[in-house]
């Protein structure tokens, strides 16, 4: 049985029955509950760790669910929980929020790594902010992610000056794709301004480094994600980090050109190859194209080279293995309907489905469809092919 999370009457969500695949993608309009669902997944699986980290930084919620949820989801967000109405079930078993939150959990293991949508806020002046640098009203996911990056920089990456490209991090094929699509001629490195360490983009020797604030929007969005991926893909022969089994990436496409998104999605395949279960929320059809191509090529037992061609990735032995494993993965796609509060399984992604949420890929193809109809009608009546 695949792991499942059921949410009832939580925030905008009236009912969500999420059965997770190896790769699970959530789509839906803004404020439809995708992020709430993903954060709830983290809370259910990492309750002890969340409690321990909050306590470590002097945050106390007593036994109050409401106070805890304000600390976890962010200020004012306790309203997502309606006492007596809200329900959470993990693997079909009730998850009693009052008990789970009021009692300190024994296990402090981290099984879910969450890359939040607000990741650009984790770097200040080019350096990850510590957990305590944020306000108590900021979401735990942002604070925790930022702290993780800070530790990574201080303990693993900050000693040398090169952060990207780095020979023992990521396969060389990925590095080349990221250079081509995101960093171009620049190198991500550590330097110091008046003894304060910071990440900068450097060109050739002798040219002034570019500080964080002058990077492109896509580079600013990508660097925290890159650092998160470094953490998930440790060097040497360890394929996964500690006890982490799940990776959540909110809106991996943020700020990036479709070619750069392609490179990021190839890294998602690497995460799957390493055995992580990956959940993504997105607003771009390109991510659903990834699910679609995995499903279609997988069912036709296509060669992994075909999948690599989609990414314009080199046909190397290492990437063929990653692609071959991806084609065996189970994918799931859910549409969060912000109007009804219902969550629909649209995994089929069939453009001919009679379920409009599935045929429009959760509304992401609606605009294209309307544009097609308008242009086709104009061409059918005034075009050179069919003059009236």
Partner 1 sequence: MSFQNDVEQTAGLEHAYRPGKQALRPADQNKVDAIATRRLAGSADIDAALENLRPNENRWDYVVGWATKEKSEFLYWIEVHSASGAGAVREILDKLTWLKGWLDGEGNRLRNYRRKIVWIASGKSAFQQNSPQLKRLVAAGVYFAGGHYTIAD
Beta bridge partners of 15: 8, 342
Whichever of 192 and 374 has its CB closer to partner 1, that residue is 374
Which region, judged by CB under 8 A, interacts with partner 1, from 31-39, 91-99, 106-114, 360-368?
A: 360-368
Q: How far apart are the first and last CA of the chain?
A: 59
Contact track, partner 1, 118-157, x by CB under 8 A: ----------------------------------------
Q: Which two tokens stand for residue 222?
A: 């990508």
Alpha carbon distance 70, 138 (integer Å): 9
Q: Which two tokens stand for residue 239?
A: 């394929």
Give the interface size with partner 1 as a residue count (CB under 8 A): 27
Whichever of 192 and 375 has its CB closer to partner 1, that residue is 375
Query: For the residues of 177-201, what is the DSSP string, one character each?
Result: HHIIIIITT-EEEEEEETTEEEEEE
Whichever of 107 and 372 has its CB closer to partner 1, that residue is 372
Which region, judged by CB under 8 A, interacts with partner 1, from 122-130, 153-161, 297-305, 379-387?
A: 379-387
By CB under 8 A, what part of segment 232-261 binds partner 1?
Answer: none
Q: How many CB atoms lie within 10 A of CB 115?
A: 24
Residue 361 engages partner 1 in binding (rule: CB under 8 A)? yes
H runs (alpha helix) in the chain:
34-45, 47-56, 65-73, 97-102, 140-152, 172-178, 217-232, 258-273, 285-299, 304-311, 317-326, 356-359, 366-382
Least distance to partner 1, CB of residue 354, Å: 6
Cβ-based neighbours of 250, under 8 Å, separated by 6 or more: 34, 35, 38, 114, 115, 116, 117, 280, 281
Residue 94 engages partner 1 in binding (rule: CB under 8 A)? no
Residue 3 engages partner 1 in binding (rule: CB under 8 A)? no
Alpha carbon distance 37, 17 (integer Å): 10
Residue 314 engages partner 1 in binding (rule: CB under 8 A)? no
Whichever of 167 and 386 has its CB closer to partner 1, that residue is 386
Return the residue of 285, 298, 318, 338 that touches partner 1, per CB under 8 A. Answer: 285
Residue 89 engages partner 1 in binding (rule: CB under 8 A)? no
Whichever of 214 and 375 has its CB closer to partner 1, that residue is 375
Residue 335 engages partner 1 in binding (rule: CB under 8 A)? no
Q: Which two tokens stand for residue 369?
A: 């469809």
Residue 365 engages partner 1 in binding (rule: CB under 8 A)? yes
Residue 300 engages partner 1 in binding (rule: CB under 8 A)? no
Residue 380 engages partner 1 in binding (rule: CB under 8 A)? yes
Cβ-based neighbours of 23, under 8 Å, separated by 6 or more: 268, 272, 277, 278, 279, 280, 291, 294, 329, 330, 331, 332
Residue 165: is the preceding peptide bond cis (ω within 30°)?
A: yes
Q: Give contact residues for partner 1 (rule: CB under 8 A).
A: 285, 289, 292, 296, 350-354, 359-361, 365, 368-369, 372-373, 375-377, 379-381, 383, 385-386, 388
């Amino acid at each position: 049985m695949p792991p499942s999370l059921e949410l009832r009457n939580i925030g905008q969500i009236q009912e969500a029955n999420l059965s997770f695949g190896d790769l699970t993608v959530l789509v839906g309009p803004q404020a439809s509950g995708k992020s709430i669902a993903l954060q709830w997944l983290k809370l259910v699986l990492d309750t002890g760790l969340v409690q321990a980290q909050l306590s470590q930084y002097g945050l106390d919620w007593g036994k109050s669910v409401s106070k805890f949820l304000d600390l976890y989801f962010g200020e004012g967000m306790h309203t997502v929980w309606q006492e007596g109405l809200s329900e959470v079930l993990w693997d079909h078993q009730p998850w009693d929020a009052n008990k789970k939150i009021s009692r300190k959990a024994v296990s402090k293991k981290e099984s879910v790594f969450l890359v939040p949508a607000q990741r650009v806020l984790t770097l200040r002046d080019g350096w990850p902010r510590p957990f305590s640098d944020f306000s108590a009203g900021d979401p735990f996911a942002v604070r925790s992610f930022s702290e993780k990056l800070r530790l990574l920089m201080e303990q693993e990456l900050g000693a040398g000056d090169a952060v990207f490209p780095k020979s023992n991090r990521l396969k060389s094929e990925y590095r080349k794709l990221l250079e081509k699509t995101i960093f171009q001629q620049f190198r991500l490195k550590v330097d110091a301004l008046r003894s304060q360490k910071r990440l900068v983009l450097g060109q050739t020797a002798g040219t002034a480094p570019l500080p964080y604030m002058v990077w492109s929007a896509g580079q600013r969005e990508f660097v925290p994600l890159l650092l998160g991926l470094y953490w998930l893909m440790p060097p040497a022969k360890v394929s996964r980090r500690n006890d982490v089994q799940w990776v959540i990436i909110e809106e991996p496409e943020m700020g990036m050109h479709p070619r750069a998104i392609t490179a990021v999605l190839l890294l998602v395949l690497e995460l799957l190859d390493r055995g992580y279960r990956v959940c993504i929320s997105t607003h771009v059809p390109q991510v659903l194209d990834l699910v679609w191509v995995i499903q279609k090529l997988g069912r036709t037992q296509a060669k992994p080279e075909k999948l690599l061609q989609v990414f314009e990735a080199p046909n190397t032995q290492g990437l063929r293995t990653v692609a071959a494993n991806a084609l065996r993965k189970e994918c799931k796609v859910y549409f969060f309907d912000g109007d009804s509060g219902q969550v629909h399984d649209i995994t089929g992604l069939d453009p001919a489905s009679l379920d409009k949420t599935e045929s429009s890929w959760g509304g992401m193809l609606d605009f294209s469809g309307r544009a097609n109809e308008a242009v086709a009608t104009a061409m059918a009546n005034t075009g050179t092919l069919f003059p009236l």
